[in-house]
Amino acid sequence: MQLVDNNTFLRRLTELFETTKDKGTIWLTHKRLTHDGEDAVMDDGNRSSKLPNNEYLCLVRVTDGKQTRFSTHVHPTVLIKFHAAYGALLRASFTTLRKRDKKREKQRAEQSARRKQRMAEPVVVVGPKRGNGRRKRQKKVKAASKQEAVKERAAKKETRNKVQLLL
């Protein structure tokens, strides 16, 4: 990963947005940089000797997942200025994002609502076991067993989610 200064970072990020305008992905990462280049020292528990008023650098990384990778360290004194320029760059570059397809999302939501409603309604198995209407009855029996299996899976999934929430 190549470390560059703030202005070069913004310029290269602009170029990267231009190259991936039609197709491509960019990953942006922000972290607080706590590594000062020295080995870590274990503290004896006496916190009064070190006050936590340290100002840390901000590490900003960019990659396109292939060969372009660069980063910068932003000092706290220039952080506001950097974020203003960085935000303006992001707002200008995000115009190429695809809009959400709300119509398709609405259709999927309606389908899932219909599916849930169908699952809640019991399948009534009526008709003769032999003779006329036998096939209709067999289809209803199969649908009823399938509905029971779906209900069991949904119940298992719900209990699994509750257990995960409790943990």
Per residue in 101-149, pLDDT (tens digit) is 788 888 988 998 888 887 788 888 888 888 888 888 999 899 899 888 9
* pLDDT score at 37: 62
Which residue in this structure is represented by tokens 């972290």? 31
| 35 pLDDT more than 80 | no
Whether residue 72 is found in the same domain as residue 154: no
Rama region for 37: left / alpha / beta (φ>0; ψ in -120 to 50; rest): left
Total-model pTM:
0.52
Q: Edge-to-edge strands of the sheet including 27-33?
A: 2-3, 69-74, 57-63, 27-33
Taking the C-alpha atoms of residue 56 and residue 160, their distance in angstroms, rounded to an integer, is: 41
Q: Are residues 91 and 122 in the same domain?
A: no
- Shared domain for 72 and 135, answered yes or no, is no
24 and 91 in a single domain? The answer is yes
pLDDT greater than 60 at residue 42: no
CATH code for position 8:
3.30.720.10
Let me know if residue 108 belongs to a domain: no
The whole domain housing 90 covers 2-37+50-96
How far is 13 from 7, CA to CA, in rounded Å? 10
In a shared domain, residues 86 and 125: no
Digit-coded pLDDT (tens) for 140-163: 899 899 888 988 888 888 888 888
pLDDT at 40: 55
- Co-location of 90 and 122 in the same domain: no
Rounded-to-integer distance, Cα 139 and Cα 155, Å: 24
Residue 130 inside a domain? The answer is yes
Domain assignment present for 42: no
